[in-house]
Chains A and B, each alone.
Chain A
Amino acid sequence: MITAPFDYVRADSVDHAVQLLGTHGEDAKLLAGGHSLLPLMKLRLATPSVLIDVGRLAELSYVRDGGDHVAIGALTSHHDVATSDMVATDVPLLRRVAGQIGDPQVRHLGTIGGSVVHGDPASDMPAAMLALRATFVTVGPGGQREHSVDGFFTGFLETAIGADEVLTEIRVPKVPMAGWSFQKFQRRAQDWAVVGVACVRNDTVGIGLVNMGSTSLRATAVEDALGSGASIADAAALADEGTEPVDDLNASPEYRRHLAHVLVRRALEEASR
């Protein structure tokens, strides 16, 4: 499979990328690792006329101590996230999630920022962001903005990021002492999750759901129930509330709802140990 023809420009800074987005408008797409975009282009399901390559912006590849949070450059590869000592210590859930995305080759090139802005409900990283209550930093013509993860994933492959904005940093609150669990139910190791659950629990609880609707979802009902003192079993029974899971070859909506119950319960049990 071969993509349709396109023009290619390289951004040499974040500002340059923003400027190029402004110049080329809607037909342009940012290219980071390319592991979400290029497969769609090869199927000719995406046919941007211009690719703006931000993949060389080394200044966006880092894991830094932000005080109460870990600051991760948007172009940091899944591999670098998964092998970061700081991530391992302060956000162990994130380490696990990053280490299970795709396969090693995908993790070497795919980036955390790319995963976030692609907004694929079947992708693990957005759900982990929900569980961890991350904040996203974007830069656009009007300067820098911060976005809470809640409300960021607005629709299928859609996010709150503007067409003329570039995601630069992901801020993940440190939860070194929290219990956590990542339950990824999949057919093969390299596959997307049929259903996935990312969970962090300390005095509060954060639960993100993979593949339970047109966007990544927070299991709000479960979080609220636990906050009101419900048992794990009772709370987990609410795991599918507010979800609209898809029907595909791997699972019916009914089966996905059932899996959500089981996996949320298992996640909470593991995170509560």
Chain B
Amino acid sequence: MTAVMGTVMGTSLRRKEDPRLLTGEARFVDDLVLPGARWLAMVRSPEAHARITAIDATAALDTPGVEAVLTGKELREAWTQPMPCAWPVTDDMKNPVHFPVAVDEACYVGDIVAVVVASSRYAARDGAEAVDVTYERLPAVVDLEDALSDRVLVHEGLGTNRSYTWTLAPDPPAVDRAFAGAAHTVRARYVQQRLIPEAMEPRGVAVVPQPVGGEIVLYSSTQIPHILRVMVGLTLGIPEQKVRIIAPAVGGGFGSKLNVYAEELIAVALARRLGGPVRWTEERRENAVATIQGRGQIQDIELAADADGKVTAVRVQILADMGAYLQLVTPGIPLLGAFLYHGVYAIPAYSFECTGVFTTKTPTDAYRGAGRPEASYAIERAMDEMAHEIGLAPDEIRRRNYIQPEQFPYASPAGLTFDSGDYEPTLDRALELVGYEGIRKEQADRRASGSTRHLGVGMATYVEMCGLAPSRVLASLNYVAGGWESATVRLLPTGKAQVVSGTTPHGQGHETCWSMIVADKFGIDPDDVEVLHSDTAVSPLGLDTYGSRSLAVGGVAVELAAQKVLDKARLIAAHQMEANEDDLEFVGGAFQVKGSPASAVPIQALAFEAFTAHNLPDGMEPNLAEQVTFDPPNFVFPFGTHAAVVEVDEETGEIRLLDYAAVDDCGNQVNPMIVAGQLHGGIVQGIAQALWEEAVYDEDGQLLNATLVDYLVPTAAELPNFKLDHTVTPSPTNSLGVKGVGEAGTIGSAPTIINAVVDALSHLGIRDVTMPATPQRVWKLIEEAKAR
């Protein structure tokens, strides 16, 4: 079985979302027609760290169309609280006060120092160019270890750049014993470079105060309308019920729109102050510095193994770049990986510690995978190093250490319970798909012939925790929200179904998938299901879309709500058919007395009966509409093995990706077409980290590649087709047996690529390549290796 059984579920139903997106009918924030709206432009600090000594708006105010220029001081009273951080990971975590517009000091390039209000898009930009800000430059601090030394303080008032140190060490003596008794140890340092998420739609905000009732409608290109609503209420002192958030069409997020941003709060404040609509659209150059960045970690990992290559302990220390401020979940990102540094392996002794430091750079936060790609990278690279140390093949060391199928549910040394898994078949299949034996032979032939085109094959098996999350577990991690999801399913009088979901899709195809779940449940056409979402007035309960949670939490909530509707419909059917409900069966969208098709009453007819309420069982409320809030009992743990074949040109350092196979297991698949699409995109983002992307800062804290000319998001021309296959190991912890898939590709692909690159160069004595493996970097390594 490769999919959830059902007429619709398990099929590659074409997406309901597509026609409006393909015709230009969909409305992104910048597409909204808002007569009379003023345009905002942000004046941003060009300095990484500076005191703001003067702001001269004279020239800006003389610019045609410019109405006002507001500084941080002038807007200070608009905020009843600073910008929110919802994840104080430790009780003593340092969290600098952060207002949407800097008041005295700018702490990163891009920090907002003033806001221009103008009559048009162009006038706002002209005004921003004309604002004259005088800065007194302060020293920048860019390097993480330099930051930790407190040589330069980002926030003088905190007295330190250390935000927190968080530890997960269940049994430190056991770790020490394992290392003391180890036959083999490896110790490695990996750098997770900063990445710019680069959702294709830059952020946009529009705020429309309603003419009556005092309600504020905030349209935002956000993944989290529900969380944003709470935070807008808190930071601006507006009663929550007076705030309505709408996320219209949202052009990708990858975690970067999982945040509460200054521009959202500024727009609300100014719309209220001006008594009319305002809007703002981010430019790409702005996006690079004003939207959060991802990764930014130095990882020190050590493994201990016995003589047979069984890994006995893992010890990890992370230094994580917070950037200048803590955004919504900045400090928690490394913790999402904290439990996964033993990867797919049964490693008994475990120790993890993470220190978060402030630097004068754009804040970091969630970016596709958020903590888990980092963890997967470190353990999968380190396993290759251990294999090399021991003299084992990379597949062999993995086989010797996998958690075995019979060990599930697996109590991990980090304290989690892995729901289900069977890892080795994914390795077997991935290696088969790339023709592993043949590649090894060709590799040997090329090496023997003295070729300068070195062939390498790499693999990585990953597991991740997603489907965020059991609320109680989040509580134990100091996260200040729950992890449940809400769904309402209604059968309307005419028999059409309506789903209200608390998830907030921005490319994932929830409308299609939730329709499929409901269509199967009711035996109706998916086109007869409408899915409503992303508007807090329509969907007041929800915790939004991130962390590969939507299907495993929100989709399951939909299934449970639909089941409740069906259960109620059964009672109505039994009542009207004067039958015992246990004697009824639900076949092809109708209830019938078992074995008696002639008695069938379609679900649509029951919907009408529930609506008229003329003949319902005593005490039953009219209508078929049920709401469910699902708080999952556990995370879900998707896994898989990826394998890649690369060719490295010794003369130039250029890497060509020749082949890539991914064998993933996300449990049951509701829509295999969408699963494959998520994997394709995820894989490319991981490959991009491995080969192309890095937010490069100079020592003054200037971002050197803020545009898409210089920040190398790969194009179709750089990539091959991927060979996908899957296994199906359903999760036992939810009714659909599903796991998440949004981040899996990214989690698997970066270590796969680098393992392949290192494999290609291993015979030259090269043991590691820092990401991104640029041609220059690889060439230099080869030159150094030759000189040794």
* A interface with B by C-beta (< 8 Å): 1-2, 4-5, 44, 185, 187-191, 194, 249-252, 255, 258-259, 262
Tell me if A188 and B718 are in contact (CB < 8 A): yes
Q: A262–B715 contact, CB under 8 A? A: no
- Asked if B67 is an interface residue, CB under 8 A from chain A, the answer is no
B283 touches A190 (CB 8 A): no
Cβ contact within 8 Å between A189 and B776: no
Establish whether residues B283 and A1, one from each chain, have CB atoms under 8 Å apart when the complex forms.
yes
Determine the chain B residues whose CB is within 8 A of the CB of A188 once the complex forms.
692, 712, 714-715, 717-718
Q: Does B704 contact A (CB under 8 A)?
A: yes
User: Which residues does chain A contribute within 8 Å of B285, judged by CB atoms?
Assistant: 1
Contact with A along B122-149 (1 / 0, CB 8 A): 1001100100000000000000000000
Tell me the complex Cα distance, A33–B67, Å.
Answer: 35
| Nearest CB of B to A189, in Å | 4
The docked-state distance in angstroms from the alpha carbon of A259 to that of B780 is 12
Measured between beta carbons, the chain B residues less than 8 angstroms from A251 are: 776
The residue of chain B having its C-beta at the shortest distance from the C-beta of A262 within the complex is B651
Please give, as numbers and ranges, the residues of chain B lying within 8 Å of A187 by CB-CB distance: 692, 712, 774-775
Contact residues, B733-788 vs A (CB, 8 A) = 774-776, 779-780
In the bound complex, do residue B125 and residue A2 qualify as a contact, i.e. CB atoms below 8 Å apart?
yes
- Which residues from A are CB-within-8-Å of B283? 1
Interface of A is mostly: loop
Q: B705 interface residue, CB < 8 Å from A?
A: yes
Q: In the bound complex, do residue A249 and residue B718 qualify as a contact, i.e. CB atoms below 8 Å apart? A: no
Shortest C-beta distance, A5 to chain B (Å), equals 8
Interface string of B693-723 (1 = CB under 8 A from A): 0001000000011000110101101100000
Q: Is the CB of B779 within 8 A of A255?
A: yes
- Determine if A189 and B652 form an interchain contact, defined as CB atoms under 8 angstroms apart: no
Is B659 an interface residue when CB atoms closer than 8 A count as contact? no
Docked complex Cα distance between A200 and B713 (Å) = 33
Tell me which of A2, A5, A250 has the highest count of chain B C-beta atoms within 10 A of its own C-beta.
Answer: A2
Give chain B's interface residue range (CB within 8 Å of chain A): 20 to 34
Instruction: Select one of B692, B715, B718, B776 contacting A255, CB under 8 A.
Output: B776
Q: Is the CB of B121 within 8 A of A2?
A: yes
Residues of A within 8 A of B718 (CB): 188-189
Q: How near does chain B come to A239, taking the closest CB pair, in angstroms? A: 13
Residue in chain A with minimal CB distance to B779: A255
14 examples of A-B residue contacts, CB within 8 angstroms: A1-B125, A1-B284, A44-B129, A185-B654, A188-B715, A189-B715, A190-B715, A191-B709, A194-B775, A250-B774, A251-B776, A255-B776, A262-B651, A262-B652
Within the assembled complex, what's the spacing in Å between the Cα atoms of A249 and B694? 10
Query: Which residues of the other chain, B, contact A258 by a CB distance below 8 angstroms?
Result: 779
**Is B776 within 8 A of A250, CB to CB?**
yes
B776 touches A185 (CB 8 A): no
Tell me, in angstroms, the Cα distance from A251 to B653 when the chains sit together.
Answer: 12
| In the complex, residue of chain B having the shortest beta-carbon distance to the beta carbon of A2 | B125
18 more A-B contacts (CB under 8 A) besides A2-B122, A187-B692, A187-B775? A1-B125, A1-B284, A2-B121, A2-B125, A2-B126, A5-B126, A185-B775, A188-B712, A188-B714, A189-B717, A194-B775, A249-B704, A249-B710, A250-B774, A251-B776, A252-B776, A255-B780, A262-B652
For residue A190, which residues in chain B have a CB less than 8 angstroms away from its CB?
Answer: 715, 717
Closest 6 CB pairs of A and B: A189-B717, A2-B125, A255-B776, A262-B651, A2-B122, A187-B712
Shortest distance from the beta carbon of B768 to any chain A beta carbon, whole Å: 20
Q: Chain A: which residue is nearest B772 at the CB level?
A: A187
Query: Complex: how many Å from CA A259 to CA B284?
Result: 32
CA distance A5 to B651 in the complex (A): 48
Cα A262 to Cα B651 with chains together (Å)? 7
B753 to chain A, nearest CB (A): 15
| Residue ID in chain A nearest B121 by CB atoms | A2
A172 to B126, CA, bound (A): 44
Closest CB of chain B to A195's CB: distance in Å? Answer: 9
Contacts of B774 in A (CB 8 A): 187, 250
For A255, the chain B residues whose CB sits under 8 A away are: 776, 779-780
Shortest B685–chain A CB gap in Å is 15
A149 to B260, CA, bound (A): 56
A43 CB, nearest partner CB in chain B, Å: 8
Contacts of A2 in B (CB 8 A): 121-122, 125-126
Q: Give bound CA distance, A2 to B126, whole Å.
A: 8
Per-position binary interface string of chain B over residues 272-299, scored 1 when its CB falls under 8 Å from any chain A CB and 0 otherwise? 0000000000011100000000000000
Question: In the assembled complex, which residues on chain B have CB atoms less than 8 Å from the CB atom of A259?
Answer: 652
Give the chain A neighbours of B125 by CB distance below 8 A.
1-2
Nearest B residue (CB) for A194: B775
**Shortest CB–CB separation between residue A130 and chain B, in angstroms?**
23
Chain B residue with the shortest CB-CB distance to A103: B715
Compute how far the CA of A258 lies from the CA of B652 in the bound complex, rounded to whole angstroms: 8
Closest A residue to B705 by beta carbon equals A249
A4 to B692, CA, bound (A): 33
Contacts of B284 in A (CB 8 A): 1
Contact mask B645-669 → A, CB, 8 Å, 1/0? Answer: 0000001101000000000000000
Contacts of B692 in A (CB 8 A): 187-188
User: Within the assembled complex, what's the spacing in Å between the Cα atoms of A175 and B774?
Assistant: 37
Residues of A within 8 A of B710 (CB): 249
Which B residues touch A44, using CB under 8 A?
129
A188 to B715, CA, bound (A): 7
A87 to B715, CA, bound (A): 29
Residues of A within 8 A of B712 (CB): 187-188, 191
What residues of chain B lie closer than 8 Å to A4, measured between beta carbons?
126, 129
> Using a CB-CB cutoff of 8 Å, which residues 88-140 of chain B contact chain A?
121-122, 125-126, 129
